[in-house]
Amino acid sequence: MLDTANQLQQVQQKEYGDQFEATGDLKKKWENADAEYIRFVKVARIALKSDHALYQKLDLDGPRKRTLSGWLAQAKQFYINALADPIVLEKMAAYGMTQAKFEAGKTLLEETETANAAQEKEKGEAQQATLERDKAIDKLEDWLSDFIAIARIALEEKPQLLEKLGIVEPS
């Protein structure tokens, strides 16, 4: 039981390490994708300022979402609608924002989505490893509690043997 608990502790630590690595990867990808997206939004707000329909279509009004899920939805709407609209591409190209650059920005968004999915997977695995470890430790603690109680009864007349087992009786 002790070996199992120790092994599950090691697995749990590994899984949390994997989760932290995936979280770092997600953070880096999101920062890169957001920097590119914000650059596009700033230019689009200038290039499309006189076209309210396109402004709405690309969700250029208001602040950018700060949660990952909100940001992903907002950025996805922007890239998908921009790439599907030749007028947007034409107006943005006048400012150096070519279709290829839009495609590259959309790729950064997709990489962020993939990193998010990987991070969520690792988070779930880390939580499951913690549950399994805790269950094994609870089982070990239950067994140890019974063992100590029986040892105290069996060695009632020999307290020095209890001490050898690491069970110190209060004075």
Question: What pLDDT score does 166 carry?
Answer: 86
pLDDT band (50, 70, 90) for residue 164: confident
pTM equals 0.80
Going by C-beta distance under 8 Å and a sequence separation of 6 or more, which residues neighbour residue 5? 133, 136, 137, 140
pLDDT value for 171: 62
Residues 14-69 pLDDT 10s? 999 999 999 999 999 999 999 999 999 999 999 999 999 999 999 999 999 999 99
The better pLDDT of the pair 92, 163 is held by 92
Average pLDDT, the chain: 94
Provide the residue type at 167 as one letter. I
Listing DSSP states for 106-154 in one string gives HHHHHHHHHHHHHHHHHHHHHHHHHHHHHHHHHHHHHHHHHHHHHHHHH
pLDDT of amino acid 44: 97
Query: What is the pLDDT, as a whole number, of residue 53?
Result: 94
**Mean local confidence (pLDDT), 105-114:** 98
User: How many whole angstroms separate alpha carbon 83 and alpha carbon 98?
Assistant: 10
56-102 residue pLDDT tens: 999 999 999 999 999 999 999 999 999 999 999 999 999 999 999 99
Whether residue 3 is predicted with pLDDT greater than 70 in this model: the reply is: yes
123-152 pLDDT, tens digit per residue, is: 999 999 999 999 999 999 999 999 999 998
At 168 the pLDDT is: 81
151/163 Cα distance (integer angstroms): 11
